[in-house]
Structure 1
Amino acid sequence: MSPHTRDVDPGHLAQWCRDHLGSPSADELFRSGFLSAVIGLRLADGREVVVKIRPDSPRVAACVEVQRRLFLAGYPCPRPLTGAAPLSGDVATAEAYVPGGAALPSAEHAATAFAEAFAWLIRLAPAPGEMPALDPAPSWANWDHGGDGLWPGPEDLDGVPGEVWIDDAGRRARDLLRDGGSDAVIGHCDWLAGNLRWSGDTLLVVHDWDSVIVADEAVLVGFAAALYSTVSADELATVEDTQRFLDAYSRARGREFDAGELRRSWAAGVWTRAYDAKFQHAAGRPVTSLSEDEARERLRRAAEGPRKR
């Protein structure tokens, strides 16, 4: 995922808050973001909010509606305070600020905690037919983008030479993902540890609701199982971490994945991490999202089917 710096005029932001939240911004609490500018603010009336600014897209309003429905259903996500509204050529939304919490649950419970939180989200999420369109998925989840090349997105990743094994892993994963499928559900495609906060082993809050997509449940679970971490918000799941997540998710949903679902889960994890690896290589950065040996092992597990217990 490439960083995009967005300059936000403080006066325009203050006026946006006055217009849409009933009070102008007074103090900035923090600023972060890659594909978006995420700004924590204290308003003049004392409320603390988070305003997120990004390029306009019809899916932004749909993502906010999914977040709103999940909040009302009792899922621990920030309460949306506005819909999507223009700000300086982009679109902005606001939500309640949820501070605190730890980056990770206890190490011995991490796989189960992350998997149960994801299963809870899938259970509570509205049906895709009830929501406006959530297309297109973010690039790292858009394996079925329909374009001519392997990799989606505005960057010409297909034209970047070198590290041929990354393209091979992505292509093999995509071929496995094309084989079969089940009913689509709504879920979160960026289940990084940095997007969740914990109170002990209890989920406190999940962030980044622009990462809501519609996909096969097994694919969504595969993304999550490959992206979370048991040790650091700066690291990704090992192969064994992914296996533990898949086992815990099956227990949480009350049914094991069949051979086809497991194949697609493992393949989805390879595809999303291969996309990030390709992006890192194209940007001239160290490739940390996936190694050749790990891609080989994950694809082997995709092919072998359910483990014998």
Structure 2
Amino acid sequence: MPADIDERALSDWCLEHMGSPVAEPTFSTGNLSAVHGLRLADGREVVVKVRDGDARLEPCTWVHGRMWEAGFPCPQPLAGPSPLGGKVASAETCVPGDEPPAPADAPKLFAHLLSDFVTRAEGFDPQPLLRPAPAWVHWYHEENGVWPVPDDRDVDLNAERCSVTAWVDELGAAVRRRLEEVRDAACVIGHGDWDGRNVKFRDGRPLAVHDWDSVVYEPEVVIIGQAAAMFHGGPTGAGASVEQTQAFLEEYQIARGRTLSDNELQLCWAAGLWVRAFNAKKFHLDNFDALERDEAETRMAYAGI
């Protein structure tokens, strides 16, 4: 639990916003946010997410609520975002249990669920306050250099120059030039962090989509591309293989009932490559190689770069 938020403060927040104090904690985890599983005194199992304030949180929560009302598989939002100890907290129902899909089934399952997300959200009001997107999708940033401010560390990636990652800097610049075509394109609502940490299945069926702070309002090719590159990802940032990405793109088109043009497919590959390049640059600081040059060159060819 963050040092400035004690158990009493968290329990008081639950009492104020959900009508019941905390009986006992059940788990604690998180990356950009502190995520607390709690059993309330009235018996409910809930999850409270505590993080820094952000103008994106209100529209993210609005989309989350609308998607739950529409029957999309996700936890029910219960409270927030509301202040808690200098940060902002939200609560939702706890949806326990999941199992990773079989590798052969994963592209279809992840792609069809994302298509369902985008399709359901088409009837929602536009959400321009969701822009700019989180850093790993924010290729159109205005920083003085290739890279935006990273989401999870206090470092200037543009100041981190070395011969080992010079090719990654060149790659990031090339991808940004390719994506300029969609800078002013029409946007749709989707999810910007579509991987197995956030998208859960049980018995081959969607169980719950988590991390609603990662809702985005971006061109559809960007939403498709980042998901296709990262749906088989995780904390290492390595993402899906080229073959898995190809399978995801094929399944997404089937689910949406329309064929993407060759140029749209190239832009999907470019959007995915932006995430992979950003991760490669960032995780080099941890001495982890998140993208091999051979794979990068293959993805560049598919992206028309």
TM range (shorter): over 0.9
1:220 matched to which residue of 2? 223
What TM-score do the two structures reach when normalised by structure 2?
0.92
What does 1:1-309 correspond to in 2, within 5 Å? 6-7=2-3, 8-102=5-99, 104-126=100-122, 129-131=125-127, 133-153=129-149, 155-162=155-162, 163-180=165-182, 182-229=185-232, 236-281=239-284, 283-288=285-290, 290-303=291-304
| Cα distance between partner residues in 2 of 1:87 and 1:127 | 33
| Cα distance between partner residues in 2 of 1:177 and 1:265 | 9
Residue 146 of structure 1: CA displacement? 2.2
| Cα distance between partner residues in 2 of 1:178 and 1:284 | 30
Any stretches of 5+ residues in structure 1 without a counterpart?
A: 305-309
| Cα distance between partner residues in 1 of 2:90 and 2:27 | 16
Residue 291 of structure 1: CA displacement? 1.5
Q: Percent identity?
A: 43
Any stretches of 5+ residues in structure 2 without a counterpart?
A: none
CA contact (8 A) 1:68 1:80 kept: yes
| Cα distance between partner residues in 2 of 1:11 and 1:177 | 48
Q: Which moved more, 1:5-14 or 1:203-212?
A: 5-14
Counterpart secondary structure, 1:83: strand
Residues 39-84 of structure 1, C-alpha deviations (whole Å, 9 max, x = no match): 1100111100000011111211111110000011111011100121
Name the count of aligned residue pairs: 296
| Cα distance between partner residues in 1 of 2:132 and 2:175 | 20
CA contact (8 A) 1:127 1:185 kept: no
| Cα distance between partner residues in 2 of 1:286 and 1:212 | 27
| Residues 97 and 217 of structure 1: CA distance in aligned 2, closer, same or farther (over 3 Å) | same
Structure 2 counterpart of 1:139, one-letter code: A
Counterpart secondary structure, 2:104: helix
What TM-score do the two structures reach when normalised by structure 1?
0.91
| Cα distance between partner residues in 1 of 2:50 and 2:128 | 20
| Cα distance between partner residues in 2 of 1:250 and 1:126 | 16
CA contact (8 A) 1:128 1:185 kept: no
Residue 292 of structure 1: CA displacement? 1.4
> Where in structure 1 do 4 or more consecutive aligned residues deviate above 6 Å?
none
| Residues 158 and 44 of structure 1: CA distance in aligned 2, closer, same or farther (over 3 Å) | same
Residue 132 of structure 1: CA displacement? 6.5
CA RMSD of aligned residues (A): 1.8
